[in-house]
Structure 1
């Protein structure tokens, strides 16, 4: 039996929308930090000090970034807070400090190591109060719909369906780092110079590619296939399969090449425009009319770039050697953000206890690495801080 705390539909205002290279949703470290602070407060509370929290699943219900669009670009809405300072010349306003903010509604499903049913409403009320005293992703918590304690047995499908109903409509964030590793291997089979960053960009970029105009070719082959001739039907099928792939003049099916070559030899005025378009299709130049096609991402699914931790880029430094630290005691280490690939999945896909547990994000610590993942065991790619070529992005969670 597994035990959970559900903090349901938390409304957050002015949360941090920027995470490393990415923007649009806070880093997963914010949510684990929220659960970690809750754990520390429990340890300091005499009644709840025995409670041990585990992983945390993040379910998004709504999000609105504070942005505006001008032309083809998007900018964050900025403000001056406060508009004037006593120490500032009031003839000129203070400068704007750029920051990305968003409002969101999320639910947190936190794993608990042992049963907490005996605490009942007292724990629920205490957690509800602590939520309002904490910040989530730097934002202010405006409302919490409810806090619930519950347990689920592996065969208890009724409880799982009840959890689904409470979280719908909602999307849970899943770690898909293995897709990045697989895509990198596929790219390096044809080009060994491809780096991990290039593979990562393929998942986040909105790419379009030009294909020479082909409407006359398509109309001709479609009309030809209406005669239900096996050769014509096969020719149309190969043409349609060709259109499903990215345009490459070297990968045009031979049957199509042979067909239009023979047509060129016996072409009449009726097919002159068709043959001209075919010649431009197989040998495009700068004057060739084109149609722009969206290039799909390497894998299916609602895939997004995510920030999931930090990588050390310096040795641990004594506090006295660094100026401007937050306190005068804690040692200092400079870090870079670690990025990976995530996927938003609807909570209706919570079909079993395993799928729920696989959605739980957890901390992982290793020399020079501070990561969040949904895997229990890791091996570190490289513990050194000197080799930084590919350290900025997770390649595969099993390799840390």
Structure 2
């Protein structure tokens, strides 16, 4: 069975939000990526193109976190952007925000039954990208021409789509590394999984000056990173219009906090199925969790 994908190659984004949660700075939250795709879907429907995007694959080519480390400094500092001077010639107060520059390719699964030619849809997507879209709060600078491609739902189809995308690393979810940990110990386990341990080894066969060697290791192999994959609902769900001064008085809402788990950047050739790289929305009503699920887990 054929599956249809919209490919957006080499999307360059500047000043994207790297403050993905109250605990982490780095790769933008997965909620921002799926929010971008949802916005794209709505813009296309305004152009009378009845299309939906149920799944998203992300391939990272370059990631540059805007930080500075001076000579002799131990920690990195955020490179902030100050507001313009006030009329008195003074700087306004501002909250530091972590920013990053990205170069990515996106593989967006499509469900489309319209009659417009794929080439025309690609041109409309390109126009929307550069006139109406942001990604994780960042500005879209440029991209190669988007296009649609159909693949078979098997390993050969996956390899064919990977062959069309420039090489990069794919973020997948690794919450399986935390699944046997009690909820109250999740944060400690997450920190242990990200920590780098330095240790020395003594080689008795070497001269005294060369006997000690230093090595580093982490708890789990691979490129393990913290990843924000959704929101945990706090308290009750408020009915529409029940709370004053909300942005949308017609939609129920609740207070939430970010869900931080473990992710891993992997080579595309370590996966065997297109589903392994895809993210989609999910709702866990029992635990009041609004999630972005990776189908590799």
TM-score range, shorter chain: 0.7 to 0.9
Superposed displacement of residue 310, structure 1: 0.2
Which deviates further from its counterpart, 200-209 or 307-316?
A: 200-209
Q: How does 1:35-54 map to 2 (within 5 A)?
A: 35-46=37-48, 48-49=49-50, 51-54=51-54
Q: Is the 8 A contact 1:117 1:149 kept in 2?
A: no
Determine whether 1:326 maps to 2:247.
yes
Q: Against the structure 1 CA distance between its residues 155 and 139, is the aligned structure 2 distance closer, same or farther, given a 3 Å change threshold?
A: closer
How many residues matched? 287
Q: Deviations over 1:142-175 (max 9, x none)?
A: 1011201011114683x64443333232111111
Q: Against the structure 1 CA distance between its residues 149 and 331, is the aligned structure 2 distance closer, same or farther, given a 3 Å change threshold?
A: same
Aligned counterpart, 1:59:
59
Determine whether 1:106 maps to 2:96.
no
Q: 2:136 & 2:122 partners in 1: Cα distance?
A: 22
Q: Against the structure 1 CA distance between its residues 160 and 333, is the aligned structure 2 distance closer, same or farther, given a 3 Å change threshold?
A: closer
Aligned counterpart, 1:173:
171
Superposed displacement of residue 324, structure 1: 5.0
Which deviates further from its counterpart, 367-376 or 33-42?
A: 367-376
Aligned counterpart, 1:250:
none
Aligned with residue 371 of structure 1, among 281, 284, 291: 291
Determine whether 1:146 maps to 2:67.
no
What are the ranges of 5 or more consecutive residues in structure 1 without an aligned counterpart?
186-192, 224-272, 274-289, 377-396
Aligned with residue 312 of structure 1, among 226, 230, 233: 233
Q: Is the 8 A contact 1:311 1:337 kept in 2?
A: yes
Q: How does 1:357-396 map to 2 (within 5 A)?
A: 357-367=275-285, 368-375=288-295
Superposed displacement of residue 199, structure 1: 1.2
Determine whether 1:199 maps to 2:197.
no
Q: Name the Cα RMSD after superposition.
A: 2.9
SS at match of 2:191: helix
Determine whether 1:340 maps to 2:261.
yes
Q: Deviations over 1:346-373 (max 9, x none)?
A: 223354xxx2112110100133210001
Superposed displacement of residue 342, structure 1: 0.9
Q: Deviations over 1:299-338 (max 9, x none)?
A: 2111111000000112123566656533444443111110
Q: Is the 8 A contact 2:229 2:291 kept in 1?
A: yes
SS at match of 2:230: strand
Q: 1:17 & 1:208 partners in 2: Cα distance?
A: 28
Which deviates further from its counterpart, 172-181 or 54-63?
A: 172-181
Q: How does 1:181-220 map to 2 (within 5 A)?
A: 181-182=179-180, 184=181, 195-209=185-199, 214-215=202-203, 218-219=204-205
Aligned counterpart, 1:16:
17
Q: Which protein shows a greater Rg? A: 1
Post-superposition, which runs of at least 4 consecutive aligned residues in structure 1 deviate over 4 A? 114-118, 159-162, 290-293, 318-324
Q: How does 1:242-281 map to 2 (within 5 A)?
A: none
Aligned counterpart, 1:254:
none
Superposed displacement of residue 2, structure 1: 1.3
Q: 2:223 & 2:40 partners in 1: Cα distance?
A: 31
Aligned counterpart, 1:123:
121
Q: 1:115 & 1:3 partners in 2: Cα distance?
A: 11
Of Structure 1 and Structure 2, the greater helix share is in: 1
Of Structure 1 and Structure 2, the greater strand share is in: 2
Q: 1:39 & 1:83 partners in 2: Cα distance?
A: 39
Q: Is the 8 A contact 2:9 2:166 kept in 1?
A: no
SS at match of 1:358: helix
Q: Deviations over 1:37-90 (max 9, x none)?
A: 1222233332x12x2321101111111111101411011101212232x5xxx1
What are the ranges of 5 or more consecutive residues in structure 2 without an aligned counterpart?
none
Aligned counterpart, 2:7:
6
Superposed displacement of residue 293, structure 1: 4.6
Q: Against the structure 1 CA distance between its residues 9 and 323, is the aligned structure 2 distance closer, same or farther, given a 3 Å change threshold?
A: same
Superposed displacement of residue 140, structure 1: 0.7
